[in-house]
Structures are given as structure tokens and as C-alpha cells.
Structure 1
């Protein structure tokens, strides 16, 4: 991926993560989680989420995805670093740590979600800028990112570059973020179609990124998106969406199978479609299952409500 003339890919290498006490395989198969967190008045909200990262046809997996679960909010992350720059792996790890720390510090539910996302991206950008301060501009580590904050029955999107966020409903793509890229501009101007993006020679050029230049990167932060039961939210790197059409992605919200199975199917489909030059292919997805009214009623009548449960099944 190029950031106006600079090539980059996120390196989330085993060596760097091992030094931080984190073990990440080259290809992390989708895992399945069932969980609950409370809304602003204490009513439990049920969610299902999964994450996936495949190495594709690359020598190492340079993507980073994570689902951060708090007491009253969930944050989905997808980070794609620039492998063409020095310290790409370290840049990815720093960005991940920065977002994790920001989410861990904030009081939940977040009073100002838009302000929180703006500040979190700014701090992550500053860390990457500091990391590359002594390097030439062309060599400085960079990354794209996509963040989705879920609290109460709503979601907030923020992204930089061409990592995307999808909002799916009833088996179709309801909305997706618009890339900060040259081909996205061509698409909006009607010069190319959505189907022509993947094969366009300028597809890997992005206009905004974390790191590199000192000024704050251009970012897009959306206002509140109301959720309905069975809506699916997905953050992903370009390695996933570049090999898939909206019809394929939309089916993730229409399938009756566990979210992890659908996400794995999407990842493998994208790798096959882009082979033998497929990129790292990564995503995290969350299905909003609605309010747990039974647990809420139990707590109001003095009965012990179900404790938040988390089920993890390796696939």
C-alpha cells in the first residue's frame, strides 16, 4: 500500500509481539465469542463476535485485529501497517497498544464517543510519528486503521486510510466507510465502478495514514448509528474486502451459522479470489443480539440476573 508515494504494510510479527508477551500465529483462525455488556442504565446487551487473520500469500502476517471488551462498551480494531517501511511491526504494535490503553482509561459508557475516537487516533498517530522521527520521510513507519465503538444500542465509526468498517443488515451491506484513497475518489466521481477498484493500478495508493508526517492525518468519524437485533458490524483490512463483493460480505449478516464460521468463509474466499498474490486478510465482526430483557427483569424483581458470560470456541 502506498501513502501518496510511500509503500506500507503493517508488520505484526511474532518476534515483536513475543517480546510483549503476546503470541500471534501467522494465520489466526476465527474464534467465536458470546458475551454481554451493560448499557448506560445497566441493562445487559447481548453480542456475538469473532476475529480472523490469514497470512494469504505473504511471507508473514502483518495485520492486527482485536476486539476490546469493556463493562459498558466494545471496541473493534483493524490495523494494517506498511511493510515497505522500516519498523512496520513495531508501528503496528504501538498503534494497537495505544488504542488498547485509550479504551482502558476511558469511563464507560463513553460520554463523547466522537471526541474519544478522535483523541485515540491522534495519540496513536503521535506514537508512530515519534517512532520514525529520526528516519527519512519515505522510511517512516505508517499504518491504516478502522475502529468501531459499540455502546448502548449504537455504533460509532472512525477510520484512516483504506481499512474499512461495514454495517450489515438483513443479509446486505447497509453502509460502509469510504476509503481515503485515489481509487475511492475515482469511484465517487463516476470514473470507475466498485468492481473495478480491485484491479485498478492505483488501488494501493492511500491519502491518509497514521505516522509519517507530523500533522494529524485526515480521518472520518461518523455520528451515531442505531443498531437493530442481528445487525453485524465488521472492521477489516483491505486484504479482505479487495477480494469480495458486497453481496458476499452482506451474507455475513444473513447466515444462521456462528459468526466465526461466516467470517472464516469470507476470509478464505477472499484469499482464493486474490491468489496467488493475496494479501494478509483480517477482520473482526460483531453481531448485536439486542437487550437481555429477562436478565434485566430478574434484577428489578430482586432475582439474581445472569452474570455476563463469555464462551470461546476455537475453530
Structure 2
């Protein structure tokens, strides 16, 4: 795998409440996370950082003690991997929720979290909120996650078009996040990947500023992943940069 990440506070916000995780070292799971925090008194950045730290530590710790691939049924191992991801999200949710209750300055904080774990020829996605995961394959782009937002719900009900979703004044109202309650529902999925696939994780600071086709063209036209990430940030800022922007790009080689 070849990968990179970039984050930027954008053109309007005074601080960056996004957080991300990349694998560090050769003997750790190929795990990638993007989180977009929310809350007053800068507590959004506390929530997003806690989500990234708790999810990554739980998954890294759990998978380091898993049995070898050749010692288990792949379907069974896949189910166990999804369970580990679910538990990681649950733990992160409870930690953020308790902190929001115990610390007055963190009251009401929460965060999105979207992650991708590459393991045994598959990518496992865990998702809460409106940060997104995409796959670019055969020069096309496909959104893998569904936004947990009011406007996405209206879109699925046929009451809004995709263009209306992008421009709607309530597009930032999310219906699911980590830390806002004692329990949270986590979206999970798995799919096989192949050589040449490109995966993108990003906060809505990117997708609110750029169409999917613009994102695709920037990534495919760039000379490197680093250049693609830089150009995505630059393009989002050129279109207004109304929010923090975080991107992670992973190329399967």
C-alpha cells in the first residue's frame, strides 16, 4: 500500500477540529481513520482526537493477538474483524460521552469517525457520521458510506436530489455521531480490493466544496498521492474552504 494524508483548517475556521490516523511502522494493521469533531470551546477537536486514539488503539491491540490467517476460516475471521471494529467504536463512543459529562468545557461534544482496515485481501469499513469513504476503480468513483445526516435521509426518501443535498442549508445537521449518547449504531461493510484501487477517506470539508467527479479528476490527474492530496485541499479552499478539510488517500499496489 502507498498512502498519504493532509489536513487543513480551511479559509473560515480559526482552528482545526479534524483528526486522522495513519499506520506507523511495518508491523501494525493497515488502518486509516478520519474524524470530524463538533462542539463548543474547541471541544470538537478533543472528541475527534479521542475517537482516533481509542479506535486505533483498540484495533491495533485486538488484531495483534489474533490467530494467523491460515489458522482460521476466512469468513469467521472476517466476522471477528467486524466485531473488533464495532467494539472499537463502542469504546470510543462511551469514552467521549463520559468525558462530555464529566468536563463542563466538553459538554455536548461529539465527532464523526470513518475508518478503513486492509486485511487478508479485504477492506473493512466502519462509519458513523458524515465523513466519507470512496473507492476509485477503473477511472470511476463510488461513495462507499452513507451520510448520517438529515439531508441524506431526505435524499434516500426521494425528497431531495443529490444536487439539492449538496446545496441544502441544513446539510451539516448530522443524525449520528460518537459521544452524543450512551449507545451508537455503527455502519460496517467489507469488500475485496484489487491492485490499482484507490481509497479516499475525507471529512465533509472536502465533499461540501467539491463534486465527486472533481475529486476523481484531481486524484487521477495528479502525478503522485501527495500531489493529489495537496490539490484536493487547495481546490476545497479555492471554492470557499468553509470547514476544516482532511483527506487520506490509499493506493493498492
**TM-score, normalised via structure 2 length:** 0.86
Q: Does 1:231 align with 2:202?
A: no
- Cα deviation digits, residues 115-136 of structure 1 (max 9, x gap): 1110110000011011012468
- Cα deviation digits, residues 11-41 of structure 1 (max 9, x gap): xxxxxxxxxxxxxxxxxxxxxxxxxxxxxxx
Runs of 4+ in 1 over 4 A off after TM superposition: none
Match of 1:255 among 218, 221, 229: 221
Measured in 2, the distance between the counterparts of 1:228 and 1:256 equals: 20
Runs of at least 5 residues in structure 1 that lack an aligned partner in the other structure: 1-46, 290-315
Q: Does 1:60 align with 2:15?
A: yes
Q: Does 1:51 align with 2:18?
A: no
Match of 2:175 among 202, 207, 214: 207
Work out whether residues 3 and 248 of structure 2, in 8 Å CA contact, stay in contact via their aligned partners in 1.
yes
Q: By how many angstroms is 1:202 displaced?
A: 1.3
Q: By how many angstroms is 1:253 displaced?
A: 5.5
Measured in 2, the distance between the counterparts of 1:235 and 1:188 equals: 22
Equivalence map 1:300-315=2 (5 Å): none
Alignment match, 1:143: 111
Work out whether residues 172 and 254 of structure 1, in 8 Å CA contact, stay in contact via their aligned partners in 2.
no
Alignment match, 1:113: 81
Measured in 2, the distance between the counterparts of 1:252 and 1:176 equals: 19
- Cα deviation digits, residues 171-191 of structure 1 (max 9, x gap): 211342111111101111222
Match of 2:27 among 71, 81, 85: 71
The 3 A distance-change label for structure 1 pair 244 and 101 is same
Q: By how many angstroms is 1:72 displaced?
A: 6.3
Measured in 2, the distance between the counterparts of 1:284 and 1:255 equals: 17
Work out whether residues 9 and 245 of structure 2, in 8 Å CA contact, stay in contact via their aligned partners in 1.
yes
Q: By how many angstroms is 1:198 displaced?
A: 2.6
Measured in 2, the distance between the counterparts of 1:164 and 1:85 equals: 25
Q: Does 1:173 align with 2:141?
A: yes
Work out whether residues 86 and 139 of structure 1, in 8 Å CA contact, stay in contact via their aligned partners in 2.
no
Runs of at least 5 residues in structure 2 that lack an aligned partner in the other structure: 67-76
Match of 1:217 among 184, 193, 204: 184
Q: By how many angstroms is 1:107 displaced?
A: 2.7
Work out whether residues 62 and 83 of structure 1, in 8 Å CA contact, stay in contact via their aligned partners in 2.
no
Query: In proportion to residue count, which structure has more strand?
Result: 1
Measured in 2, the distance between the counterparts of 1:200 and 1:139 equals: 28
- Cα deviation digits, residues 151-189 of structure 1 (max 9, x gap): 132101111010111111122113421111111011112
Alignment match, 2:243: 279
Q: By how many angstroms is 1:71 displaced?
A: 2.7
Measured in 2, the distance between the counterparts of 1:100 and 1:54 equals: 22
Count residues in correspondence: 238
Q: By how many angstroms is 1:239 displaced?
A: 0.4
Measured in 1, the distance between the counterparts of 2:41 and 2:84 equals: 29
Q: By how many angstroms is 1:109 displaced?
A: 9.1
Query: In proportion to residue count, which structure has more helix?
Result: 2
* Larger gyration radius, structure 1 or structure 2: 1
The 3 A distance-change label for structure 1 pair 151 and 201 is same
Match of 1:158 among 117, 126, 139: 126
The 3 A distance-change label for structure 1 pair 256 and 263 is closer
Alignment match, 1:80: 36
